[in-house]
Structure 1
């Protein structure tokens, strides 16, 4: 089974290299359904994999001058506080059985996977549908309030499901910080790296980390990123992202069906 997990890590890395993001959303389903980890541990491992992969991607983009460090730090502070607090205090205190009435039982694991499926659904739809962005003028006060509220919420979502949250962060960078698209993508990787790795730190006291598995898994994912980046030169990016979006949508439906049944 671990061999399948490592092959999955390589595939996730390829997707990240090809699309510039999104592949990390497959990490949790791979860890849960292929390798048998529970959703809480899977989310923690996903944060580490996403964090290290995003740090690598952010470094490459920084060399191309496509990372706005100042904006990234401003956006990251409220979101990584949300991630850390969620992983350290909220997730461990979610009851094992959230709801029970007659034969209907909603467990913590089922709740987290259904929430993850919902996030996958939104991620897929955001990639399929090109939203027309209306850039509005905002005052400095509105700018700061929006950053704090939006990014704390983003941090909580990332902390609960272990996904990178790029599909949530990039629109904020476009709408609020008004960064150009390429710089928004590069800056989002910087923010995701900080969010994910700091969120993972919140898990260290709550979860026994299997480092002998996690480090090779992350390294193989990095190799996949190199491979995907090379292949991307020969593939149409728009069609690739749309195809991947439909794959994520199908995965969301499968996970929902599996958890409810």
Structure 2
């Protein structure tokens, strides 16, 4: 029964990551804690494996479909590395009950943001963007130095927050990456979703490297089953994003995230008090 739950949960995580560029990865920690019996510390470490590998495979699938701007994803991911290191180090010093309460609060925020985005897209209708062309760079050094500093600051702050959340709570942070790529790097939504997977893969790998050897290791068997199911579903999700309007899928995942957030909060808050 545990194996079946891991497969189903992994499929939901991967489908969301591949099709939407985020949202589903935040389910990995509650799944590992409440369905697979891991401690919060083990779950946030195991989640990095699930999210990182799934994002990498999803990014490859999205790239083949032409929905990844690799150079921008790599740059954003490298900027986020510092935050990932800080977050991973901080996580090892926080009580596990506090970790779960923080995670529940984050899930509620993510669910609310997904709901707002879903409502906005519902009013605008489906959009099918052409492949973007390179706009004016944020920073140039030749022939003279120039800086679009407001955009640069927006990217720096958002990338650092993404890294911190990834390192601290083991989440991908796609709900932050996608808007940052939309606003800071001027990518259309379909390309922002695919490119965000590159960022998530980089920050997850960084945070996992920092956490290696710190604290108790998760049950790698359960983590690998969850990862395999998630990775396979991410490939399917990337194909769905390329061929279909994902608004209905986004709405379903919004409801799921809010439900899991409420459940996590009812379990975590009493334990803290």
Q: Structure 1 residues 20 and 92, CA, compared in 2 at 3 Å: closer, same or farther?
A: closer
Task: State the alpha-carbon separation in 2 of the partners of residues 177 and 233 from structure 1.
Answer: 21
2: CA distance, partners of 1:69 / 1:219: 24
Query: Is the 1:47–1:197 Cα contact (8 Å) retained in structure 2?
Result: yes
The 3 A distance-change label for structure 1 pair 156 and 234 is: closer
Residues 25 and 163 in structure 1, CA contact (< 8 A), matched pair in contact too: yes
CA contact (8 A) 2:57 2:234 kept: no
The equivalent of 1:103 in structure 2 is none
Query: Which among 79, 87, 111 is matched to residue 124 of structure 1?
Result: 111
Other-structure match for 2:143: none
Q: Secondary structure of the residue that 1:198 maps to in structure 2?
A: helix
Q: Aligned partners of 2:226, 2:154: CA distance in 1, in Å?
A: 36
Q: Shift of residue 158 of structure 1? A: 2.0
CA change 1:42–1:194 in 2 (3 A) is: same
Q: Could you tell me whether the CA contact under 8 Å between 2:18 and 2:55 is conserved in 1?
A: no
Separation (CA, whole Å) in 2 of partners of 1:184 and 1:153: 17
Q: Does 1:112 align with 2:99?
A: yes
Name 1:101's counterpart in structure 2: none
In the alignment, does 2:183 pair up with 1:183? Answer: no
Distance in structure 1 (CA, Å) of the matches to 2:200 and 2:257: 20
- Which shifted more, 244-253 or 141-150? 141-150
Contact 2:19 2:240 in 1 (8 A): yes
Cα offset, 1:160, TM superposition: 1.6
Q: Is the 8 A contact 2:15 2:237 kept in 1?
A: yes
Task: Give TM-score, length-normalised by structure 1.
Answer: 0.82
- Residues 245 and 76 of structure 1, relative CA distance in 2, 3 Å threshold: same
Deviations 1:44-96 (A, max 9, x none): 11111111011011111222332222222221123122112321x211222xx
- What's the CA shift string for 1:107-144, capped at 9, x where partnerless? x22211121112211221222113879xxxx8522222
SS of alignment partner, residue 187 of structure 2: coil
- 1:230 deviation in Å? 6.8
Q: Which residue of 1 aligns with 2:28?
A: 27
RMSD of Structure 2 on Structure 1 (CA): 2.6
Tell me how many residue pairs correspond in the alignment: 243
Structure 1 stretch 140-149 or stretch 113-122: which is displaced more? 140-149
Mapped partners of 2:241, 2:184: distance in 1: 30
Q: Which range moves more in the overlay, 49-58 or 152-161? A: 152-161
Q: How does 1:158-169 map to 2 (within 5 A)?
A: 158-169=166-177
Counterpart of 1:60 in structure 2 is: 61
Q: Which moved more, 1:138-147 or 1:214-223?
A: 138-147
Secondary structure of the residue that 2:172 maps to in structure 1?
coil
* Alignment CA distance shift 1:68-1:232 (3 Å): closer
SS in 2 for 1:30: helix
Q: State the partner residue of 1:241.
A: 250
Change (3 A) 1:230 1:164: same
> Which sections of structure 1, spanning at least 5 residues, go unmatched?
95-107
Partner of 2:160: 152
Distance 1:228 1:74, change over 3 A: closer
Decide whether aligned partners of structure 1 residues 33 and 229 sit closer, same or farther in structure 2, where only a CA change above 3 A counts.
same
What SS does structure 2 have at the residue aligned with 1:93? coil
8 Å contact 1:84–1:200 — kept in the other structure? Answer: no
